[in-house]
Structure 1
Amino acid sequence: MTSTSYHDERIAKMTFASVYPHYVTKVEKKNRTKEELHQIISWLTAYDDKKLQQLIEEKVTFEKFFNDATLNPNAHLITGVICGYRIEEIKNKLTQQVRFRDKLVDELAKGRKMEKILRVA
């Protein structure tokens, strides 16, 4: 499945604050913790807990969230299918970065070991 420009624009305008509670609920339902969630987001973006809280309070868009982030150099190792999209084939950089995060959250919720989630080259 390929993303459309409408889909990419919609993702860019979504706020991190609007999906964050869903991430927390998803991982906690599977007996994982909010701290583990923050660890994977921090690994991907270099944001610490204080910065994540600030981004939530400011209701930043995904576009700003990722434009200001320092993406982990091993993020390209995140592959597979999430929400019907093969991550490594997504052309739009921002949409791909959002799907990187979605994939990490999904792996955490599925019980994957942290050392596998936090890819090492």
Structure 2
Amino acid sequence: MTKHKIYTMSFASVYPHYVKKAEKKERTKSEVDEIIRWLTGYSQEQLETQLEEKKDFETFFEEAPDMNPSRKKIKGVVCGVRVEDIEEPVMQEIRYLDKLIDELAKGKAMEKILRS
């Protein structure tokens, strides 16, 4: 079975799109980074290293130091698919991140985005 092409895309190539989406709605890069750190357990320095090294999405999530167990509380639809129903683990992690960025762009409060 061939991997979905997003798995081999560098996280660094998509990251600016996350930031742009947030900034278009008056949110910030630091909020995007906070979401990514919350989801993956990366420190800011580790996140920046991942971006500099242009790790692909699959590696980015495989190397995540501490995936947040509260991510399982993320529900909803991204790209026409319910994130909680995605069976492939890496794709689910990618879609969790997409959903969190969507919530940020829609103006949701950070404590709700981060499932506090």
TM-score normalized by the length of structure 1:
0.90
Letter in 2 for 1:27: A
Choose which of 20, 25, 34 in structure 2 pairs with 1:25. Answer: 20
Secondary structure at 1:104 match in 2: helix
5+ residue gaps, structure 2, are none
- What is the count of residue pairs matched by the alignment? 115
TM-aligned CA deviation for residue 52 of structure 1: 1.2
Identity of aligned residues (%): 53
CA distance in 1, matches of 2:106, 2:26: 10
Secondary structure at 2:60 match in 1: helix
CA distance in 1, matches of 2:43, 2:20: 20
Secondary structure at 1:74 match in 2: helix
* 1:57-76 correspondence to structure 2 within 5 Å: 57-69=52-64, 70-76=66-72
* 1:35-50 correspondence to structure 2 within 5 Å: 35-50=30-45
CA RMSD of aligned residues (A): 1.2
CA distance in 1, matches of 2:73, 2:6: 22
Moved over 6 A (4+): none
CA distance in 2, matches of 1:78, 1:19: 21
TM-aligned CA deviation for residue 11 of structure 1: 2.0
Secondary structure at 1:59 match in 2: coil
